[in-house]
Chains A and B, each alone.
Chain A
Amino acid sequence: MPPPTPLSPPELSYLYASLSLSPPIRLDLRTPTQFRPLVAECSFLPHCNGSARVCMSEAGECIVGIKAEIEKDATTKYVTVIEREKWIEVSVEVAGGGASGPGSGMGIGGISGAGGATGRDEGDGGAAVWLKEGLLAGGAGGWSILDRLVISSGWHWKLYIDVLLLTPTSHPSPLLLSTAVNMALDSTYLPKLTSPHDVDDIPTFSDDWAISVPLYEPKTFPRPPMSLPVVAVGDNVFLDPSVAEVAAAEAGLVVTLSLSDAQGNCDIVGVRSMEVGRGGGKEGDRKGINRKLLRQMVNACVKEAGEVIKGVGETTHQQMFRA
């Protein structure tokens, strides 16, 4: 496949002008906060504790499998933060190597500071870094996913989150990856512990999956995090931008949020900047981004995220093997 070609100057200026109108006109006639429909299913891989498959029109297809294994704590007495963060390992792979290999400088969805598209969550790990970042951030009141992974004294679960992008030639959006990881986490079940909590011996588990324990207890909060891409063109803010819209945008953010209550209120757990095009004008002509616009972008995410995360969660629960 040829490398992605930039849009032509007339296309960019047309897009920029359309999107900066008031009200803006998106090419697919979506409203600024409307997401594109996506196809999603979960719990379909038989050998995984949790799995999900998500397809998006432009971003292609992505599957996530989550496997858990028991591991002895590395340090018996004091479990350090660094040690604990290794309890979750995220890896992102592009099927067939793809155009954007490790270190090629093309982060997934153009998230700056995220390095190459593929890789693990250590060092220059690409998309895996910000996926894990959102996971570890936890929620209000000191809640952390790592606490859910403790089995007994001296033992914990180690989670392997493997993300596989099946369409290497597409433009993977952060939304695709984070939706898939979100659904997979939401549908993850761990075997029920049968040995006492406070014994140092190797823990034993029930082999009955009907009584297995969900990683994220349903109806409790926070729910697994989700990252929403948002771009700004002129004074307008757009959620779930298409590739062309990103190219014409002036500023872009990926806001990671987690649902904090049943009313749909969300906590921001992470914000990263997203690489965007040159905003329709000439090269180097791009406007700076002011505080008001930045606030507007994050607010748009926070406002819509509740519905989105709730919607994804409902779909997950309908499809789960124990639903």
Chain B
Amino acid sequence: MPIQIIAPAPFVTADDEADDEGGVRLDFDNDGDIAMDGDAPRRAAGRQSGGIVTPGEVVTEDPQWMRGHGTYLSQPLAPGGSQSIVSSLAGTISKTNKLLSIRALKFRYVPEIGDLVVGRILEVQTKRWRVDIAAPHSATLLLSSINLPGGILRKRTSTDELQIRTFFSEGDLLVAEVQTLSNDGLASLHTRSLKYGKLRNGVFMTIDAGMVRRMKSHVLTMNTSNGGGEVDIYLGVNGYIYIAKHTTPLTESGGPEGKSVSITRLEEEASEAIYSNVNEEISPETRAEIARIACVIGALAKNGVKVDDEMVHLGYEAALEEFLQGMEWGGDGEAGKRVVEAALAKRMEG
């Protein structure tokens, strides 16, 4: 069967009995009295902790609650009347003591200083680039916050401004760090480390921003099977992911061959290679394993498992046990689910 057709999930109505056992209902105050007007329509779903509300839906009219993120106070219907807390997001209600907030079901990435992000250049301006990082606003990357060829500490000149497209042009992928945030959440990036910069030798994929767990290091290097060699995985906190063939970072002074790279040598190497648009030679084995890792990460995110170092490794192991050949994965619609379940079982075992 070359195609798999899935019937949509049936519409589930909220089950009242199950609701009562769930979280604490908001309609009741601590004494158990009904705090709402008797004639107000009682909508069991969406009014309790963990229930789902939609934008504009009244969460509670009880004045004892404080409004938190994702909510606003409505105008009182009558002058002097009580204000009700209304949701401004589609998401679940969470309560912290008397603070009511809504956690969105799906949200864009909110940049934070120090985050490792993967981005794509949207626009080239005179002294900066506009970069898509899946945030509400696109980020900026200043010409002065990249490694200019010929030396990290070199001053930027007007020649560099004219040659701005030789560093990054529209559509290019890069890995960067969030350097500063403006008041309105606009991020400014930098690539002033040889860990960061243009991405090549691999594939790009996206998952939801919330699905990447924050870790110590967001660049993983994995040893793959089937002769795939080493593969680098850049897990951007913003949900953009790049999986590439492992390249020896230039920062490693004193590599396996024991050759130490001096600072000046480093600069020369950086200038030659760092903004190249040409891929290295990548073997079919490596390509197959890169695709397999991409499938593992996609399956983890699809099944609601946060992606981190451990899960990627376990998922990859599970995928290897499930399918010796990478090609068999795509033909099996349930494969992703099975692999994720196997990976979770492995994690339980420890």
Chain A residues with a Cβ under 8 A of chain B? 2, 5-11, 13-15, 17-18, 21, 23, 25-31, 33-35, 37-41, 53, 55, 239, 304, 307-308, 311-312, 315, 318-319
Contacts and interface: CB of A to CB of B under 8 A. Distances in A.
A31 B199 CA distance: 27
19 contacts: A5-B120, A5-B132, A5-B171, A8-B200, A10-B198, A10-B277, A11-B173, A14-B279, A14-B282, A18-B287, A23-B327, A25-B287, A25-B326, A28-B298, A37-B3, A37-B4, A39-B5, A239-B2, A311-B3
A10 B199 contact: yes
Contacts of B6: 37-40
A38 B172 contact: no
B126 to A, nearest CB: 19
Given A23-B327, A27-B203, A6 B171 contact: yes
Given A5-B122, A11-B204, A25-B287, A315 B5 contact: yes
B318 interface: no
A73 B179 CA distance: 70
Given A11-B173, A11-B204, A35-B3, 4 more contacts: A5-B122, A17-B279, A25-B291, A29-B328
Contacts of A239: 2
B77 interface: no
A8 B170 CA distance: 8
A27 B5 contact: no
B121 interface: yes
A23 B279 CA distance: 21
A21 B291 CA distance: 14
A10 B200 contact: yes
Contact of A307 (B1, B199, B284, B292): B1
B205 to A, nearest CB: 8
Interface residues of B, number: 44
Contact of A9 (B5, B277, B284): B277
Contacts of A6: 170-171
Nearest to B276: A10
B294 interface: yes
Nearest to A14: B279
Given A38-B5, A39-B6, A311-B1, A28 B291 contact: yes
A25 B7 CA distance: 29
Contacts of B205: 27
Among A2, A15, A27, residue most surrounded by chain B Cβ atoms (within 10 Å): A27
Contacts of B199: 8, 10
B330 A26 contact: yes
B266 interface: no
B222 interface: no
Interface of B: 1-8, 120-122, 132, 138, 170-173, 198-205, 277-279, 282, 284, 287-288, 291-292, 294-295, 298, 326-331, 333
Nearest to B329: A29
B260 to A, nearest CB: 29
A315 B1 CA distance: 13
B330 A31 contact: yes
Among A26, A28, A40, residue most surrounded by chain B Cβ atoms (within 10 Å): A28
A73 to B, nearest CB: 39
Given A10-B277, A10-B279, A21 B287 contact: yes
Contact of B2 (A2, A26, A28, A34): A34
Nearest to A306: B2
B166 to A, nearest CB: 13
A168 to B, nearest CB: 17
A2 B120 CA distance: 11
A251 to B, nearest CB: 21
A272 B182 CA distance: 50
B3 A308 contact: yes
Contacts of A11: 173, 203-204
B330 A30 contact: yes
Contacts of A29: 291-292, 295, 326-330
Contacts of A315: 5, 7
B294 A31 contact: no
Contacts of A25: 284, 287-288, 291, 326-327
Among A8, A9, A38, residue most surrounded by chain B Cβ atoms (within 10 Å): A8
In the A-B complex, the 4 residue pairs with the closest CB atoms? A30-B330, A10-B200, A35-B3, A29-B330
A71 to B, nearest CB: 34
B282 A5 contact: no
Contacts of A307: 1-3
B223 to A, nearest CB: 20
Contact of A17 (B2, B282, B298, B326): B282
Contact of A2 (B132, B282, B330): B132
Contacts of B121: 5
A34 B284 contact: no
A14 B202 contact: yes
A143 to B, nearest CB: 25
A39 B3 CA distance: 11
A31 B331 contact: yes
Given A5-B171, A10-B278, A29-B292, A38 B7 contact: no
A6 B173 CA distance: 11
Contacts of B326: 25, 29
Contacts of A8: 120, 171-173, 199-200, 277
Contact of B7 (A2, A35, A39): A39
Contacts of B291: 18, 25-29
A34 B330 contact: yes
B333 to A, nearest CB: 5
Contact of B171 (A7, A21, A40): A7
B85 to A, nearest CB: 29
A28 B326 CA distance: 10
B307 to A, nearest CB: 17
A192 B278 CA distance: 66
Nearest to A5: B171
Contacts of A318: 7
Contacts of A39: 5-8
Contacts of B329: 29
